[in-house]
Structure 1
Amino acid sequence: MSTDARPDPARAHTEPAAVVVDRLSAGYPGVRALDEVSITVGSGSICALLGANGSGKSTLFKALLGLHRPTAGTVRLFGHEPSTARRRNQVSYVPQHDQVDTSFPVSVEQVVMMGRYGHMGFTRRARPADQQACDQALEEVGLSELRRRGIGELSGGQRKRAFLARAIAQQAPLMLLDEPFAGVDRGSEELISTVLKTLRDSTGTTVLISTHHLAGVEDLADEVVLLHQRVLAAGLPAEVLTEEQIGRSFGAVLRETG
């Protein structure tokens, strides 16, 4: 039985929604971060979760990963609870900040191979299929020639691409990226966008990104959700990314902190 959970691109849009968030509320002591948030992300699409810092994006991502217990509502990934979806290798994640100690002597290739751990079993012994997935992911993000270099030797943009390659190598049908464009140069931003669109088109992978960067979202995303503790608007980029809607989302933070 194949362990590749990635969907057939021809079937992606006929399958159940990849992400269904239903009336989700969550927060921390004294803080309500999310207020009855409902979002549906179709299979095989790129959805941008757009909002200013403090809008609840990180809390929502933690709920999607099963790392934060909501006070109300539900989250389903391909019809499963987040913990089940992760066990089934249905979700990959690219964090905003490095989750590998850059002072530890680990190579770029070894970091990317971590994405194959769910396919290797307890032995974590790489098979030819694992090496092929790793090689392909490195090539897609333009890091093949740096595969032997230590992860700590890379620039911030290169490290971001290395962690993207790790997620690609995992071959999960849903990829979550937390602020993928933060702290990277324009060239890396364009490369990441191109890689994500190619991944969607060639494999049917569903991509959900959280970002506060407006630039490039309209060209990248199939769907946009404006968030500030609750959903302010959701739909096609041309419909959502209007001056009025953006002002409602980002202006809410300015009014609260000003």
Structure 2
Amino acid sequence: MNMTEAPGTEPNLYPAVAAAQLSAGYPGVLALDGVDVTLQRRSICALVGANGSGKSTLFATLLGLRQPLAGQVRLFGESPHHARRRNLVSYVPQHEQIDTTFPITVEQVVMMGRYGHMGFTRRPKPADRAAVDKALEQVGLGDLRRRAIGELSGGQRKRAFLARAIAQQAPLMLLDEPFAGVDRSSEQLIVSVLHQLRDAGATLLVSTHHLEGVGELADEVILLHRRVLAAGLPEDVLTEEQLGRAFGAVLSEPLAQTPEDPLAERGEERGL
């Protein structure tokens, strides 16, 4: 699928993400309070905030795995449920729950990203194999395609799960802390791949609490602490005063105990 436009929609008619006055949370916790987010197509937006600031809750709500308490969400003009069914959004979790002893190869993991294209039989067609081959090469894992996923290093495993999302070919990608626990070389490769995806027409929302390199990565930044504290160009948002508001607020308040991986919470299968 060409990632420059969502299937069944007019080109550029709707933003990739439109959340209006969005509130969401868990019993006893209001994790998001009146959040407004609009992401235009073909851009990379960094979602910056400390642990407990609501980043994972926002992802869960955008994916339709957490129902809003108030407000609404639209992805390319669709509800999250319909957007997922129509393969408009992919997700790379912060932590992937896998059995490292299970004999599944890197190539098989990446092929899971094609499940939405295969139908009930899940028999790969030439187009599926070509998408997997391209994704593996893009993240530098072509030579490790036959290796068991449990044998990869942390950085290699992150790249494998990124390749799975790439193979899905959804026009919107959500990435939850993709740089956590990776070495500098893997981080640089991931940044390069994300830029390639944006240039090919994808929209990417990347959550992170690591500030180094955000200016190089993103076209725009959203600073989140339950509300949107600031949004705009990296140099306008990542100021000492703004960051003090965001990270100082978290240090002075109890952290919201939100699940790090909203898909794992629901027990849902990858390859949306």
After TM superposition, is the score higher than 0.5?
Answer: yes
Q: Is 1:5–1:90's contact at 8 Å kept on the other side of the alignment?
A: no
TM-score (norm 1): 0.94
Q: Is 2:5–2:12's contact at 8 Å kept on the other side of the alignment?
A: no
Distance in 2, Cα, partners of 1:168 & 1:39: 24
Q: Which residue of 2 aligns with 1:206?
A: 203
Q: Which residue of 2 aligns with 1:46?
A: 44
* Amino acid paired to 1:222: D
Q: CA RMSD in A?
A: 1.6
Structure 2 alignment gaps of length 5 or more: 256-272
* Amino acid paired to 2:37: I
Distance in 1, Cα, partners of 2:64 & 2:76: 14
Whether 1:72 aligns to 2:70 is yes
* Amino acid paired to 2:203: T
Distance in 2, Cα, partners of 1:181 & 1:24: 27
Q: Which residue of 2 aligns with 1:230?
A: 227
Q: Is 2:135–2:163's contact at 8 Å kept on the other side of the alignment?
A: yes
* Structure 1 position 100, deviation (Å): 3.1
Q: Is 1:13–1:44's contact at 8 Å kept on the other side of the alignment?
A: no
- The 3-state SS of whatever aligns with 2:73 is strand
Match of 1:100 among 98, 101, 113: 98
The count of aligned residue pairs is 252
Trace 1:74-223 onto structure 2 (pairs within 5 A).
74-201=72-199, 203-223=200-220
1:219-254 Cα offsets, whole Å, 9 max, x none, are 110110000000000011111111111111111111
* Structure 1 position 6, deviation (Å): 1.9
Q: Which residue of 1 aligns with 2:3?
A: 6
- The 3-state SS of whatever aligns with 1:233 is strand
1:65-107 Cα offsets, whole Å, 9 max, x none, are 1111111010100000101000000001101111432221100
- The 3-state SS of whatever aligns with 1:76 is strand
Q: Is 1:46–1:206's contact at 8 Å kept on the other side of the alignment?
A: yes
Distance in 1, Cα, partners of 2:252 & 2:29: 17
| Percent identity over paired residues | 71
* Structure 1 position 15, deviation (Å): 4.3
Q: Relative to structure 1, is the Cα distance of residues 200 and 54 closer, same or farther in structure 2, using a 3 angstrom cutoff?
A: same
Whether 1:250 aligns to 2:247 is yes
Distance in 1, Cα, partners of 2:148 & 2:86: 30
Structure 1 alignment gaps of length 5 or more: none
Q: Is 2:49–2:208's contact at 8 Å kept on the other side of the alignment?
A: yes
* Structure 1 position 5, deviation (Å): 5.6
Distance in 2, Cα, partners of 1:196 & 1:88: 22
* Structure 1 position 28, deviation (Å): 1.1
* Amino acid paired to 2:238: L
- The 3-state SS of whatever aligns with 1:33 is strand
* Structure 1 position 13, deviation (Å): 8.6
